[in-house]
Amino acid sequence: MIRSMLYATDLGLYAPYVMQHAVELARTFNADLHVIHAVEPMGLFAESVLQSYLDEQALNDFHNQGLSTVMASIEQRVLDSFREELGEGMQDLALIQSVRVFQGDPAQVILEQAAKLSVDLLIVGSHSHEAGVETPLGRTAARVLQLAKVPVYLVPLVQRRRLGDI
């Protein structure tokens, strides 16, 4: 029985397509839908650039307040994209129990949240917005498939399906 699901979005080009699958599954099973997006930590180069322009106090303020503002902004963007995509489907919007943004390695964030929320199903796309068509499976999707403790619903890249390269 599927009572709750976790949809991991990369907010990329194919995110609305994967989201349609997530909403349809939630509707079909009358299940709670949780949505997450993982933001990778800043790299060393970005951190060193910030250190060049900001004093220690300003850098600490950025990490404490600026990052939480950015995360809240991303959460709002995810919610707005759902509202835009679903249009009048307010009953579908009601299936969404939470929208959260976390900083960390995407696969690790997805697996940790799946365990924390005790979901029955994970929903992910096969590629991020950066992966090319020649890559059969993205890094995050591959790691989630290998390490997940619950079933994973994998939505293939739309372009690949249209090209008949399956």
| C-alpha 4 chain-centroid distance | 16
Nearest of 119, 131, 124 to residue 106 by alpha carbon: 124
Greatest mean pLDDT range, 41-45, 82-86, 152-156: 152-156
- pLDDT value of residue 44: 67
Nearest of 4, 24, 28 to residue 16 by alpha carbon: 24
Stretch (H or E) spanning 63? none
Mean pLDDT of the chain: 82
Tens-place pLDDT, residues 109-124 = 999 999 999 999 999 9
- pLDDT value of residue 133: 56
- pLDDT value of residue 132: 53
Tens-place pLDDT, residues 75-112 = 887 777 777 777 666 677 778 888 898 988 999 999 99
How many other CB atoms sit within 10 Å of the CB of residue 3?
12
CATH number, domain of 58, equals 3.40.50.620
> Would you place residue 166 in the very low, low, confident or very high pLDDT band (cuts 50, 70, 90)?
very low
Partners of 32 in the beta sheet? 4
Length of the chain counted residue by residue: 166
Structural domain of 80: 4-163
Stretch (H or E) spanning 7? strand 4-8
- pLDDT value of residue 54: 73
- Total structural domains within the chain: 1
| C-alpha 161 chain-centroid distance | 21
Residue pair 104/71 in contact (Cβ under 8 Å)? The answer is: no
Residue pair 138/147 in contact (Cβ under 8 Å)? The answer is: no
- pLDDT value of residue 117: 97
Please state, in angstroms and rounded to a whole number, the distance separating the CA atoms of residues 50 and 59.
Answer: 7
Site of tokens 């933001």: 39
The whole-model pTM stands at 0.77
Site of tokens 């919007």: 93
CB-side neighbour CA atoms (13 Å) of 25: 25
Nearest of 33, 22, 20, 18 to residue 97 by alpha carbon: 33
